């Protein structure tokens, strides 16, 4: 329960991040702990090693409000669904907080605002590996969006038809913006730029078909390249409008997760709206995995601005 959580498959619905801790030999660890009279260390050693988990645990111990304690317990449970350690270098996207973090050498190296999927097209929780940065990407319009738009994609906006697909040429109006991360995954969900950058000023940023649009996308991409390419070099490539792939020296894990409570840079815990209504299905982990309660009624999200829901990468 400390290592893997208490939730069943139904309570984890929508969570597609593989937990490598399932391979840990708990019996061998337990035998060693009993032999050394070190059971306290045994249980402590099974907890997630993230500073985020530690902050939630401290907040849970001092929180008096029952509802907030339940939210904290559910998000501590989500951390148990992840590998105990995410490593020293990775990207963590928290869809509930509309935020992406870059971690380098075990330290948070920066945060960026993101736009995530609408309630009708939620961003899934999954992991992948970022292998490169694609500048001036083409956009292959997913079949679901073709149906939604009734196949109307004007040539004057850069759309072309070939091989049974509709694609959009690189350029300022491209739905993926000027950069897309190369991060192969079975959901065809990517982190990318957007021409609708005014949406980042909004507090509730659930406007996409599931993909993740990131603010200051070129700055973010340049940071991922580890100074292999300067911002000036990146801008020069973008100016050519030629599609160019720049590989990362080392592949970078990316975790697309969902935490409705998370610690800020100062360690203080913030609470976020449960936009996808995923909290209630978990139940109460602090009660040993109690069954989930009936979902509460959802308040409507703000309407998506016109033209804001077209940029999921295929």
Tell whether the model's pLDDT for residue 214 goes beyond 50: yes
- Non-local (6+) Cβ contacts of 182 within 8 A are 130, 131, 132, 133, 134, 245
Q: pLDDT: is 309 or 152 the higher one? A: 152
Q: If you average pLDDT over every residue of the chain, what do you get?
A: 91
Cα within 13 Å of Cα(160), Cβ side: 8
Determine the pLDDT at residue 291: 55
Per-residue pLDDT tens over the stretch 243-299 = 999 999 999 999 999 999 999 888 899 999 999 999 999 989 988 764 544 444 455
Tell whether the model's pLDDT for residue 183 goes beyond 80: yes
Determine the pLDDT at residue 295: 44
- The beta strand positions in 136-242, using DSSP E, are 139-140, 159-162, 165-168, 179-182, 191-192, 206-208, 212-214
pTM of the entire structure? 0.91
- Non-local (6+) Cβ contacts of 296 within 8 A are 277, 280
Supply the Cα-derived Rg of the chain in whole angstroms.
Answer: 21
Determine the pLDDT at residue 284: 92
Determine the pLDDT at residue 266: 82
Q: How far apart are CA 308 and CA 193, in angstroms?
A: 13
Average pLDDT of span 6-28: 93
b vs e for 248-264, b when ≥16 Cβ sit within 10 Å of the residue's Cβ? Answer: beeebbbbbbbbbbbbe
Average pLDDT of span 17-37: 95
Tell whether the model's pLDDT for residue 67 goes beyond 90: yes
Cβ pair 119, 273 in contact under 8 A: no
């Amino acid at each position: 329960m400390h290592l893997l959580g208490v939730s069943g498959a139904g309570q984890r619905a929508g969570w597609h991040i593989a937990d490598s801790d399932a391979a840990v030999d708990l019996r061998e660890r337990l035998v060693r702990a009993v032999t050394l009279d070190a059971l306290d260390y045994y249980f402590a050693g099974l907890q997630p090693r993230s500073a985020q988990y530690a902050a939630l645990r401290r907040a849970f111990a001092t929180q008096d409000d029952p509802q907030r304690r339940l939210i904290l317990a559910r998000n501590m449970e989500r951390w148990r669904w992840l590998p105990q350690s995410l490593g020293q270098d990775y990207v963590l996207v928290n869809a509930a907080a509309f935020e992406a973090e870059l971690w380098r050498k075990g330290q948070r190296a920066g945060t960026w605002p993101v736009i995530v999927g609408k309630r009708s097209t939620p961003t899934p929780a999954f992991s992948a590996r970022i292998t490169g940065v694609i500048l001036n990407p083409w956009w292959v319009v997913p079949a679901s969006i073709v149906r939604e738009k009734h196949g109307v994609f004007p040539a004057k906006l850069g759309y072309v038809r070939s091989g049974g697909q509709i694609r959009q040429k690189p350029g300022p109006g491209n739905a993926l913006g000027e950069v897309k991360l190369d991060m192969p995954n079975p959901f065809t969900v990517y982190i990318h730029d957007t021409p609708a950058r005014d949406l980042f000023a909004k507090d509730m940023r659930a406007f996409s078909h599931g993909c993740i649009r990131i603010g200051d996308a070129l700055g973010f991409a340049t940071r991922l390249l580890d100074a292999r390419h300067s911002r000036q070099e990146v801008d020069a490539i973008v100016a050519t409008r030629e599609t160019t792939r720049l590989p990362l020296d080392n592949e970078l894990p990316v975790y697309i997760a969902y935490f409705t409570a998370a610690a800020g840079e100062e360690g203080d815990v913030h609470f976020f709206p449960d936009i996808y209504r995923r909290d209630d299905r978990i139940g109460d982990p602090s009660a040993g995995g109690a069954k989930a309660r009936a979902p509460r009624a959802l308040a409507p999200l703000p309407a998506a601005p016109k033209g804001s829901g077209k940029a999921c990468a295929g």
